[in-house]
Amino acid sequence: MVKKILAGCLALLLISVVAVLLRTLTLSPEPAAVVEAFDVRVHQDQVIGRLSQAIQFKTVSQVLPAKDGNPPRTLVDAEVFSSFHGFLEQSFPAVHERLERIVLNEFSLLYRWQGSEPQKPPILLTAHQDVVPYSLPDLEAWEHPPFSGALEDGFVWGRGTLDDKSSMIAILEAVEGLLEQGWQPSRTVYLAFGHDEEVGGTGAAAIADYLHENSIRPELVLDEGGFVMRSMIPGVSQPVGLIGIAEKGYLSVELQTEGKVGHSSMPPPQTAASIISAAVVNLERHPPAKRLDGATLRLFETVSPHMSFGKRAVFANLWLFEPLVLSILESKESTNATIRSTQAVTMLNSGHKDNVLPATATAVVNYRLLPDDSVDDILEHIRNTINDERVAITVYPYHSEASQVSDTENALYQAMVGAGLGVFREQDMIMAPYLTIGATDARHYQEVTKNQYRFLPIPLDREDLSRIHGPNERIAVEDYLRMIRFYVTFLKSSDAVNSP
């Protein structure tokens, strides 16, 4: 009997090993057609000069906190935005002569480039005009001042070179160049440049509303989001162009309780402060569940064929190794954020004197939601986990559901992948879908398109990520020129795609 069981176990093990090996060996990269990179004739010094000038406009957007009973409001400098628009008109004369320009929410811009075949669905390229301010303590760390647009060491320096005025100006360069060449798209192309993405994106929301009201339904929206990351994904040596096919939702909740007031010499078993502490500890012990699905699963499906044998074996056999993969991804903050709705306790408040029982206690917890975890799901999780009627749970006014997950099978997506591979041909790049952790303007376009993608064709190393919203934001001249080439190539390759 024992012998039979042993033999059975051995056979099972052997079958598993064979299955693992077979799946690993037959795992091959998804086919992707490289698109030959197109170029427009550009005068390099002039192109770089225009980017440098654009960076020098302090198109900062900020939120002013609530004051005197007034809610928080966003603030931009009207004069700066007006003169920036004047600069655009001067710098891109063909765009402003041939495209229709619609101004929405005072400073957001929507351009319409009429296609020769109006029955074809349009596409929309978007970027934002605004940038975040620099922080004063960081100012010393900047090698070149944040709004200098300095051209030094082969880089253009300043706010917006990565996030993402560079993209806006590169799109305009691409269109200007194509117009000068006499090229006209068959499908209508929209260019959308919101003015307050960094503070919520009322501009992009207004543009999306305009499209909705006019029954304009782009077949694709391309926004910022992923970069071309070098040495970012474990086991993959090639650069990976990350295309965000979904983005996380946003929710903050306040937990609040009231306690018995009085002197602390005869305390009740729990004070308001300890009730809230217990609630917070409970939440941290039971974070929202982790899972490997959606955009994150698509990322690993795409990059795993390029991994070393051992790692490939693991990702090719998630039926066996999924728990292992999840625990590895969970162990790092950056990857943990891609497999679960995260929670962070960001504010705690209670008490004012060492020997007085606190009357109230509050905690604020910020959540970033995975697609398919709705705000209601998370609220239910919070209520069940805290399971204490003394704790009131209030939702902060600004919250948003995670985006839908855009599909990666359509021809326009393939045209975008092909354009990326074409312009990065010499670098043996992989293009892969992924989940964008931060918020972008793309989410506002969900009501008018089912295909929103988030990709900036700029190569970055892990260390470069701190330049975004941090000191020493910069872009290499050759990377900027390649970005223009990407938009030219994509405009042409997407135009050649026949829509369903």
Q: What residues make contact with Zn ion under the rule CB under 5 A?
A: 163-164, 224
Long-range contacts of 213-219, Cβ-Cβ distance < 8 Å, separation of 24 or more: 216/122, 216/190, 216/448, 217/121, 217/122, 217/448, 217/449, 218/121, 218/122, 218/123, 218/124, 218/190, 218/445, 218/448, 218/449, 219/121, 219/122, 219/123, 219/187, 219/412, 219/449, 219/451, 219/499
3-state secondary structure 188-220: CEEEEEECCHHHCCHHHHHHHHHHHHCCCCCCE
Start-end of H helices in 346-423: 375-386, 411-423
130 in active site: yes
For residue 174, give both structure tokens: 């691409």
Least CB distance to Zn ion at residue 198 (A): 7
Q: How far is the CB of 255 from Zn ion (least distance, A)?
A: 31
Q: What is the residue whose two structure tokens read 């994106």?
A: 201
Which residue in the shown chain puts its C-beta closest to Zn ion?
163
Known catalytic residue: 301?
no
Tokens 């994150």 — which residue? 296
Q: Which of 163, 197, 373, 401 is catalytic?
A: 197
Q: What angle do CA 127, 131, 135 make, to 5 degrees?
A: 155
Residue of 93, 111, 120, 115 whose CA lies nearest to 177: 93
| Backbone dihedral region for residue 251 (phi beyond 0: left; psi -120 to 50: alpha; all else: beta) | beta
β strands within 77-219, DSSP E: 100-104, 108-113, 123-128, 151-152, 155-157, 189-194
Q: Are 176 and 92 in contact (CB under 8 A)?
A: yes
Please give the structure tokens belonging to residue 361: 């206690």
Instruction: In angstroms, give the least distance from the CB of 440 to Zn ion.
Output: 7
- Counting Cα atoms < 13 Å in the Cβ hemisphere of 392 gives 10
Q: Which residues contact 195 (CB under 8 A, 6 or more apart)?
A: 59, 61, 76, 81, 105, 106, 107, 108, 109, 128, 129, 130, 203
Q: Could you give the C-alpha distances from 394 to 251, 365, 470, 495, in angstroms and in order?
A: 11, 11, 32, 48
Instruction: Please identify every residue annotated as catalytic.
Output: 130, 197
